Amino acid sequence: MIGRLNHVAIAVPDLDAAAAQYRDALGAEVGAPQAEPDHGVTVVFITLPNTKIELLHPLGADSPIAGFLQKNPSGGIHHICYEVEDIIAARDNLQAQGARVLGTGEPKIGAHGKPVLFLHPKDFNGCLVELEEV
């Protein structure tokens, strides 16, 4: 059902400093910041030869990333994202197996302009999983 790894998301307390570290110290291709108000985050994508890193920073006081950074002030891995061909079929299959989909269960449009869903970390060994339709 799952396809390739799309990205690993890292919550960061300072988006500019984190982006500069990837660009300057590691020589990575760093995208421009994108505000994603529906998700309460500002993101920067780091393009690697085989996947992407998504830097996440809170956008507004109600951002879920703000809570994550309160618990993890230095930042840390927030979630991993896998590609799926059919997000509704993937959701239905996972729910039939007992996995919990966060939110309403209906896909939202993610930072790549494609439908996404998040799966409860308690159902995936403590890891928040994002599914993105390709």
Domain span holding position 15: 2-133
CATH label of the domain that carries residue 67: 3.10.180.10
pTM of the entire structure? 0.94
Domain count, the chain: 1
Banded pLDDT at 134 (limits 50, 70, 90): very high
Q: Could you say which DSSP state residue 69 is in?
A: H
pLDDT tens figures, 55-68: 999 998 889 999 99
Contacts of residue 80, defined as CB under 8 A and 6 or more positions apart, other chains included, come to: 5, 7, 8, 9, 127, 128, 129, 130
Average pLDDT over residues 26-46: 96
Using alpha carbons only, give the angle 6, 7, 8 rounded to the nearest 5 degrees: 150
pLDDT tens figures, 67-90: 999 999 999 999 999 999 999 999
Please give the positions annotated as active site. Answer: 130
Contacts of residue 14, defined as CB under 8 A and 6 or more positions apart, other chains included, come to: 57
